[in-house]
Amino acid sequence: MVMTRPAALGDAASARMLVQDDGKLHDVLEVVELVGTIARVRSPFLFEIGEELSVRIEQAGAVSEAKARVRAHTGPAEERVTELELTARSEPRPMVNG
């Protein structure tokens, strides 16, 4: 029997996640993997385990908002990956440019 990983929702390289703070968007997260309610990201910032972030997710021409709770940090410091659990995600809606 061959074990396979679940398919990622869209291409992680095309997904973008922005932190919302005080009405402003901050591009501080690089999406490595986005599967279901779990996002694995890289960031120059080390968020605290349990910390909650408001995020905007842009993927496949759609946008949604969610709460992201920091679950874990993995890997060595220079390649650290932060695991986020997404909750209260809004329905995706078409992105409007301009």
Res. 15: pLDDT tops 50: yes
Of residues 51, 32, 35, the one with CA closest to residue 43 = 32
Rounded Cα–Cα distance for residues 98 and 77 (Å): 37
Q: Average pLDDT for residues 53-63, to the nearest whole number?
A: 94
pLDDT of res. 8: 44
pLDDT of res. 89: 92
Asked if residues 41 and 30 have their Cβ atoms less than 8 Å apart, the reply is yes
Q: Average pLDDT for residues 62-72, to the nearest whole number?
A: 96
Rounded Cα–Cα distance for residues 45 and 78 (Å): 12
Res. 4: pLDDT tops 70: no
pLDDT over 90, % of the chain: 73
